[in-house]
Structure 1
Amino acid sequence: MILIRDVVQQAIETGYLTVEAENELRQLLSSKYDLEDLNAFLTLQQAAMSGYVKQESRELIAIKHMSSKSLN
């Protein structure tokens, strides 16, 4: 069974959080988890806010926004 801390560790090691990993985190956060997993998730949030970890979903939104601007 995959844990929140496993998903977080992979994202921090690679510096990238995929859409699939975000969806996995949503699913994992909807069930019971321990304090270590909560702390790992908070660490990931801080890493994303500081730019240390990039989020694929945000990059896709930015690309979509930029392409819609270029069409106007």
Structure 2
Amino acid sequence: MVRIREIVQKALATGYLSVEAEEQLRQLLKTKYSMQDLNAFMTLQQAAMNGMVKQESRLLIHS
């Protein structure tokens, strides 16, 4: 089973978060997760706010 931090690591490495990855995150956040995963998710949110990670869903809205 994929973990939140694995999705975050990929997004940070590529600078891109796909719609599919966003949906995976939504589903995983509904389950029990570790503090490491929560910290990773918060890091991803900060990176997205700072423009370091682009979200496919937001790019689709603006195109």
- Do they superpose with TM above 0.5? yes
| TM-score, scaled relative to structure 2 | 0.99
1:8 aligns with 2:12: no
Indicate the percent of aligned positions where both proteins have the same amino acid: 67
The code of the aligned residue for 2:50 comes to: S
Could you say which residue in structure 1 is the equivalent of 2:60? 60
Matched positions, count: 63
- How far 1:22 moved relative to its partner? 0.1
TM-score w.r.t. length of structure 1: 0.87
Query: RCO greater where, 1 or 2, for CA within 8 Å and sep 6 or more?
Result: 2
Greater share of helix: 1
Residue matched to 1:19: 19
Match of 1:70 in 2: none
Unaligned runs of 5+ in 1: 64-72
Instruction: Tell me the equivalent position of 2:50.
Output: 50
Runs of 4+ that moved beyond 4 A: none
